Structure 1
Amino acid sequence: MKKIAAIALLLTGLHSKAQEYKSYPMWNHHLPMELRVNDVVKRLTLEEKVAQMLNATPAVPRLGIPAYDWWNEVLHGVARTPYKVTSYPQAIAMAATWDTNSLKTMADYSAIEGRAVHNKAIQENKTNERYLGLTYWTPNINIFRDPRWGRGQETYGEDPFLTKYLGASFVRGLQGNDPKYLKAAACAKHFAVHSGPEPSRHSDNFNPTVYDLWDTYLPAFKELITKANVEGVMCAYNAVNTQPCCGNDLLMNDILRKQWKFTGYVTSDCWAIDDFYKYHKTHASATESAVDAVLHGTDLECGQTVYKTLIDAVKQGLIKESQIDISLKRLFTTRFKLGMFDPPSMVPYAQTPASALEAPAHQAHALKMAQQSIVLLKNENNTLPLSKKIKKIAVVGPNADNSIAVLGNYNGVPSKVITLLQGIRNKLGSNVEIIYEKAINFTNDTLLIYSDQSTSFNWNGQQGFKAEYYNNRELSGTPLISKMEKIPDHFWQEGENVVDGIKANNFSARYSSAFTATKDGEFSLEVEADDGYRLIINEKEVINAWQRNRWGARTYRLKTKKDTVYKIVLEYWQGDGKANVRLRTGNFEKTDFTALANRLSGADAIIFAGGISPQLEGEEMRVDYPGFNGGDRTSIQLPVVQTNLLKALHATGKPVVFVMMTGSAIATPWESSNIPAIMNAWYGGQSAGTAIADVLFGDYNPAGRLPVTFYEKDSDLPGFSDYSMEGRTYRYFKGNPLYPFGYGLSYTRFTYSGLTIPKSITVNKPVKIRIQVKNTGEKDGEEVVQLYVSHQQTKHKIPVRALKGFQRILLKAGESRLIDFVLSPEDLSLVNESNGMSYQPKGKVQISIGGGQPGVKNKTTSNVVSTELQVL
């Protein structure tokens, strides 16, 4: 009994000691936050401090600090979480709404779902896992200066003015308006001068002019940092003026911290500090890179390796521990603002229930934004809207039933995704005959016609594949679990259970089976997977993509002999991000366009769903299809196979509607001259198909406007790696675009009149403007009122014109409304070419207001009213 009592006393003492931290000031929520942050930092050892500067921070049990991973994404809804969430349209599509209120609401709803995810993580003791935290590395406010950039889909387009207001709305919606706590922490990225190319991003150095830096690349960052109070900033991979962005004197020390007084935290892009010495070759070692990054205010390393050298750097006197403390205080201030060190009862968002995930209001808003984002590019002879009394309709193309395309990249996974085909089926019901043909791939006309061969595969007398799962990337050791599966066909979100004991990251699998050929001939096996894989047939490796990363599919054509047994082994590993592996079998067939057109000639209308997809464009991808490279595009032309198919469909004489899905501008010169109706549907999120069908059949009047210029041809573009803005975007392009920035048609018409504006103003005085807008058509509809400024008398570098105001409004048929704008002195200012400072010139300024830009060749939904203002 004495022994038991002694053990009990010891355990009581240990428990008491373990709870001592609760008495520390860091845990006293009655004290000022700054005092609490200072207290926690001074209690950490040097080793503990450095560990807290990595994206995956370990727990500090003696202080009660839980483990936390800073890495999370919320580009268009909570991304990459293991839970089902609402997926909104891709960022470029949300930009096409030109609606700051909608974007703010979307961010608010996403933060609510993010809180629900984080609260579940706390309950399940998973705060150490990636994609479950509250620090979101979004929004991407880089300027989409060149349509070839594969990540342009993540941005709000090519214009600094539109980008800064949309970005600020997102930040305010995500971070909330509580006076003490953040709902979630936004992060403006990638700072700065970053927009491709993807394959060389780790070593690129760009030398923008002072003018371009301040006129194009910095305005959105300035707005979010100085006015929207964004909590975080991510520095970019590339170098600017020979210094890596995360260690850049001008960007980090002078502009960000000194001029803009930014006090929040800065994170590196992932593994960007490695680039200092590995690719930029500006630093001799990891230690030197880490020290320089911290001295330039990069508080957090996403990458987990280089900053570990800071321990020795402090001991060697290369950096003071007090400098480490500065970064620690910024990082812990963010965590305290998120309420991570306060009782949940005090934090207004800590009670957000799991029922908030995919809430009805959130799903309704995803549909609304998908509808708002659709841009009607052409509608000859009122081809649209189509009648719902149609008898037969054909739906054709690689994006007709593509659930991957509509979700874009950096996405979460919802419970239900509505493709275009499903949206049309839901809209028309069983009374209309719907013919579906994929017909082609994005870049070729040879399809693998799938056949269900799963019953032909067997392993030791059991039908299917033997699946072995390993808790490492190397297929090493004994598999954690072995079981039989029908055929490899999996899609997991990171953090989701692959099998018991294995999460969907940093694992590998082997799938083994055999089949007996029933005839002489050819049998094709297609493997589609993320990260690395290889296919082995009869112990011979026939596909090796083991070092591959990002999405990819490859096919092997096996020559078969009747009654021969073929042993099939598919090996696969997954690192970070989504995990998917699929084996499909069948035979290749080349599509006969003439025969296809004949089959479809009985349809009353043909919908062609083409364009491109995030399977082809995105972040640092290994894609080698014609027209694409490393996630970027080498040509902005619509792939020629799609144009050839559209020519065949057009030749039927039936109305053809081209529904284009894309995250960037596509050049469609033949289509724009010949196809009667074209709409750009972007990557519309979980309800994309419903929204497109609503527009096709007139249940929603389209009002999306282009946030980027759609050029006519590749030769319109300067070199991709040329970061000069000369000849780029609507502000500096002097040619004739196919569809200009701000363009979009409607099923109704709007007229502008009664412009009220002073003839002259004094420098540094605001200008009040009023105009009347009337819906002169027969349908209710939305209009995006756009105001452009063009300086007329100056010898200095200036844009052709610049957007300086916009409002999205709803007008019923016949309704009029007075719209007010106030142009600030900043709106009427230009950038000095020598020092980057803003100045307001005197002289004539043209003010244009309408449903698009003035003087464009293309007919828009409205007239444009212009006048001159004299600045004295």
Structure 2
Amino acid sequence: MTLKPMVVSVALLCALPALARDQIDKSVDVKVDALLAKMTLQEKIGQLHQLSGREATGPESAKRASQLAEIETGNVGSMLNVKGAQDTRAMQALALKSRLKIPLLFGLDVIHGYKTVFPVPLGEAASWDLEAIERSAQVAAREASAAGLHWTFAPMVDIGRDPRWGRVMEGAGEDTYLGAQIARARVKGFQGARLGSTDRIMATAKHFAAYGAAIAGRDYNAVDMSLQQLYEVYLPPFKAAADAGVATFMNSFNSLNGVPATGSALLQRDILKGAWKYPGFVVSDWASIKEMVPHGYAADEADAAVKALNAGSDMDMEGEVYIAHLAQAVKAGKVPQKNVDDAVRRILRKKFEMGLFDDPYRFSDPKREQVVLADPQHRAAARDVARKSLVLLKNERNVLPLAKSGRRIAVIGPLADSKRDLEGGWVVSDVRGDVVTLLQGIRGQAPGAQVSYAAACAPGCANADGFAAAVDAAAKADVIVLAVGETWDMSGEAKSRTDIGLPGRQTELFQRLKATGKPVVAVLFAGRPMIFNEIADQADAILYAWFPGSEGGNAVADVLFGDYNPSGKLPATFPRNLGQIPITYAQTMTGRPVVDEKNIVYRSAYIDSPNTPRYAFGHGKSYTEFGYSGLRLDKATLRQGESATLSFELENKGKVAGTEIAQLYVRDMVASIVRPVKELKGFAKVQLQPGERRRVTFTIDPDTLSFFNGQLKWGAEPGAFKLMVGSASDDIRLDTTLQLQ
């Protein structure tokens, strides 16, 4: 049987006005229902089965033959780990041999680039630049879609307040407001205005929900929190993604208050598909459905299939429990037919919206793949995003920027000439381009300088065999650029750490170089906030580079030599020591706060450390200085339904152009539940020439002042609110008070 193609092409659909789009949407529903009526129960369950295709596209084997047979009979609805126009085309052709010729969806973890590697997501978040973040996702989508992919398992929108958790690398940091803004930007970048364009892909909001609060920062671990905290801190970025039209959600590995998220009807049925009226589908994380058995929540895999489907988990990623057990569960009355139909309908709808029934091969064009993956504009975009992500933590005596000529620069460290370590985890393409190392970037941009190099030790720095040569090179130089940090495989999934300090003997290397008396500029590469107190105290300058991607070396050199004035701000708090974790700027006040660090007796304090972090959320320096003045609030009292305008003068008081990220924080002074001491509620990224002044404006309305109360009701309570504007969460320059009636 051959299905009739859609009358209106997907390309034309994207350009239609809203009314016409609604009509097309209804026609898609009609087509989905018509197809669903023709499907057997087994064919429906096949659509809920996602298969990893590494074996299917590999050498001949019994498993490969079995998988190919399953695809041809219609028992597979989606595949992951199949990439490239040629392979996806081959698998699609096989699926079209099935009775109903339903095309496959091809998905992959395209987290921060496909061929062109951008900074890891936490690094991108440090740019606080929504346009740049959207552009990064757009380039990733363009490359991935040209390689035959329809779908990425990104963005991860989990709030992460524990840097021990390896997957903090994949998110936007600790803040709910910033995280929600970035979630929207990434969804828009991946998907565009509407699904179906062949240069965009479907996005996935993951991991639903609260995965970032895993106990002890240990991956896959349990989460236990109040529903009020869940609603206020962890759910808003997911809601933002849903409102932005994200095509799919992925549930999380963790249990939440005793129930595995994969089997949580509260999350999937009540909140996502119920209260939020989410029209997309939910995919499990890798085998998370059958993992409910070792959780102790399901008796066996058949029981896990029942509980997951009934809870609202639509597609089984590589668990093979739906395909094995769901038909019998439906026949036994354990799973209502309507639940299966609802899941299948959601998946088919996305296939129609992607235009795959119109042309199943529309994303699998080898010629287009070759052209798109060679586009030099992608590298330029990666360099731009990377340098915007860099955070200048320290710059004593204006050591930076460095002169490009007439100086002797010693580039030292295990990560100075490492390509793979600048990319970070989740690098997916087999044909990615060359990575520019820090050493290459410095040499390329400072031909007039004498640049020497010493690795000192291998990445990980397990021994000090090369320290003597490094010290000798440093002694002959005018300035030292030290490249240290984590290796690429120390952050990401299953990469939780109890020690987030510099690995191996890197701190000792720094101490020996510092003893030469030469200025030391430390460039730190990592996928998480690290603890590096000796460097923080003694280095002359510190640039936090994250894992900056393909153009990382050029981007760092741009900043070191002043071709780009750094503007990045930390999206996560950097602790002084492990004992402070979890730590966030948005802490709640206690009955015994620390008022004076010299008097902490019977106060909420440590006896061996300050409460304050090493570097606060929002911190980041520039090569110029910004002044804040002239705070104005157009009304001191705000009534329900009104808005107020808060404005101030921002001035570049230095000698070079620069960009400041001005931040708005709010504190509810008295409320029905204890509120954080400050919450980010707005930010403005402002570029100013030397001496230039500009008035920056924020709008304050009741929604800005609202929160979820003890009954999980959203709203603003009358009373006083402190409004604060500054350069960081611990660098408030101006404040005033607003009364809400």
Same fold (TM over 0.5): yes
Retained in 1: the 8 A contact 2:163–2:217? Answer: no
Counterpart of 1:748?
624
Aligned position for 1:283? 298
Question: Equivalent residue for 1:258?
Answer: 274
TM-score (structure 2 length as normaliser):
0.84
Aligned residue number for residue 420 of structure 1: 438
What residue is the counterpart of 1:223 in the other structure? 240
1:115/1:350 contact within 8 Å kept: no
Map of 2:309 onto structure 1: 294
The answer on whether the counterparts of 2:195 and 2:353 sit within 8 Å (CA) in structure 1 is no
2:649 to 767, 772, 780: 772
**SS of aligned partner of 2:393:** strand
d(CA) in 2 for partners of 1:640 and 1:212?
37
**Distance between the aligned counterparts of 1:239 and 1:164, measured in 2?**
23
Structure 1 contact 156–707 (Cα < 8 Å) conserved: yes
Matched with 2:605 is none
Change (3 A) 1:25 1:45: farther
1:827 and 2:701 aligned: no
Q: Relative to structure 1, is the Cα distance of residues 396 and 345 closer, same or farther in structure 2, using a 3 angstrom cutoff?
A: closer
Cα distance per residue 1:145-198 (max 9 Å; x no partner): 101111111000100100000110111121111487683211100000102469
Contact between 1:830 and 1:839, CA under 8 Å: does it hold in 2? Answer: yes
Residue 550 of structure 2 corresponds to residue 676 of structure 1 = no
Give the whole-Å Cα distance in 1 for the aligned partners of 2:549 and 2:588: 32
Cα separation, 2, equivalents of 1:412 and 1:815: 44
What is the alpha-carbon distance in structure 2 between the residues aligned to residue 652 and residue 90 of structure 1?
A: 34
Secondary structure of the residue aligned to 2:543 is strand
Match of 1:791 among 668, 676, 687: 668
1:868 aligned residue = 737
Q: Partners of 1:26 and 1:103 in 2: how far apart?
A: 35
C-alpha change, 1:35 and 1:370, in structure 2 (3 Å) is same
1:207 is aligned to 2:224: yes
Structure 1 equivalent of residue 488 of structure 2: 614
Matched, 1:44 2:39: yes
Sort the Cα spacing of 1:838 and 1:345 in 2 relative to 1 into closer, same or farther, 3 A. Answer: same
Is 1:68 aligned to residue 104 of structure 2? yes
Q: 1:517-596 counterparts in 2 under 5 A?
A: 590-591=464-465, 593=467, 596=470
Q: 1:105 aligns with which of 126, 130, 135?
A: 135
Q: In structure 2, which of residues 156, 162, 171 is the aligned counterpart of residue 155 of structure 1?
A: 171
Amino acid at match of 2:304: S
Equivalent residue in structure 2 for 1:853, among 729, 733, 736: 729
Query: In angstroms, what is the RMSD of aligned CA positions?
Result: 2.6
Deviation of residue 843 (structure 1)?
1.9
Change in 2 beyond 3 A, CA 1:677/1:372: same
Q: What secondary structure is seen at the aligned counterpart in 2 of 1:693? A: helix
- Structure 1 stretches lacking a partner, 5+ long: 1-19, 79-84, 119-132, 447-589, 621-630, 719-726, 857-862
1:103-139 Cα offsets, whole Å, 9 max, x none, are 1122222222222112xxxxxxxxxxxxxx2121110
Please report how far the alpha carbon of residue 355 of structure 1 lies from its aligned counterpart in structure 2 after TM superposition: 1.6
| Aligned partner letter, 2:46 | A
Which whole-Å deviations, capped at 9, do the CAs of 1:580-621 have from their partners, x for residues lacking one? Answer: xxxxxxxxxx4264564234201111111011132222212x
Is contact 2:636-2:737 (8 Å) kept? yes
Q: Residue 197 and residue 609 in structure 1: after superposition, are their counterparts in 2 closer, same or farther (change >3 A)?
A: farther
Residue identity in the other structure for 1:438 = A
Q: In structure 2, what is the Cα distance between the partners aligned to 1:643 and 1:730?
A: 31
Aligned residue for 2:289, secondary structure, equals helix
Cα gap change, 1:99 to 1:306, in 2 (>3 Å): same
Change beyond 3 A, Cα 1:612–1:390: farther
Where does residue 21 of structure 1 map in the other structure? 2
Aligned equivalent of 1:698: 562
Q: Tell me if 1:337 matches 2:318.
A: no
Distance 2:9 2:168 in 1: 45
**Whole-Å separation in 2 of the counterparts to 1:88 and 1:677:** 24
Cross-structure match for 1:248 = 264
Contact 2:6 2:358 in 1 (8 A): no
Structure-2 residue corresponding to 1:721: none
- Cα distance in 2 for partners of 1:597, 1:149 equals 34
CA contact 1:442–1:641 (8 Å) conserved in 2: no
Shift of 1:730: 4.2
Select 2:571's aligned residue among 695, 707, 717. Answer: 707
Corresponding letter in the other structure for 2:113: G
CA distance in 1: counterparts of 2:42 and 2:687, whole angstroms: 58
2:505 counterpart SS class: helix
Q: What is the CA deviation profile of residues 713-736 of structure 1, one whole-angstrom value per residue up to 9, with x for unaligned ones?
A: 112125xxxxxxxx5454459821
Matching residue of 1:762 = 639
Q: How does 1:366-381 map to 2 (within 5 A)?
A: 366-381=382-397
**Match of 2:648, SS?**
strand
| 1:99–1:807 contact (8 Å) kept in structure 2 | no
SS in structure 2 opposite 1:845?
strand
Is 1:434 matched up with 2:451? yes
Q: Is 1:271 equivalent to 2:266 in the alignment? A: no
CA contact (8 A) 1:112 1:352 kept: no
* 8 Å Cα contact 2:162-2:217 kept in structure 1: no
Q: Give aligned-pair identity as a percent.
A: 33
The residue type equivalent to 2:413 in the other structure is G
Offset at 1:69? 4.7
CA contact under 8 A between 1:273 and 1:289: conserved in structure 2?
yes
Distance 1:655 1:639 in 2: 23
Give the deviation of 1:704 after TM superposition: 0.3
Amino acid at match of 1:283: A
Q: Larger helix proportion, structure 1 or 2?
A: 2
Secondary structure at 1:400 match in 2: coil
Residues 23 and 374 (structure 1 numbering): CA distance in 2 closer, same or farther, change over 3 Å?
closer
Can you give the 5+ residue segments of structure 2 that lack an aligned partner in the other structure? 11-23, 52-75, 78-94, 594-610
1:332: Cα distance to partner?
0.7
Shift of 1:443: 4.7
The equivalent position to 1:781 in structure 2, one of 654, 658, 668, is 658
Partner of 1:93: 123
Question: Matched residues in 1 for 2:180 and 2:145: separation?
Answer: 26
Structure 1 SS opposite 2:502: coil
Choose from 166, 169, 188 the match for 2:185: 169
**Structure 1, residues 405-462: CA drift from partner, whole Å, max 9, x if none?**
2111112443221011111111123x4332222212455442xxxxxxxxxxxxxxxx
Correspondence for 2:523 among 649, 652, 659 = 659
Q: CA deviation at 1:668?
A: 2.1
Which amino acid is the alignment partner of residue 394 of structure 1? Answer: A
Q: Normalising by the residue count of structure 1, what TM-score does the alignment of the two structures yield? A: 0.72
Confirm or deny: 8 A CA contact 1:26 1:35 kept in the other structure: no
Shift in CA distance, 24/669, structure 1 to aligned 2, threshold 3 Å: closer
The correspondence for 2:719, drawn from 819, 825, 843, is 843
User: CA separation in 1, counterparts of 2:364 and 2:291?
Assistant: 41
Paired AA for residue 548 in structure 2: G
Tell me the amino acid that sits aligned with residue 257 of structure 1.
K
How many pairs are equivalent? 660
Change (3 A) 1:780 1:27: closer
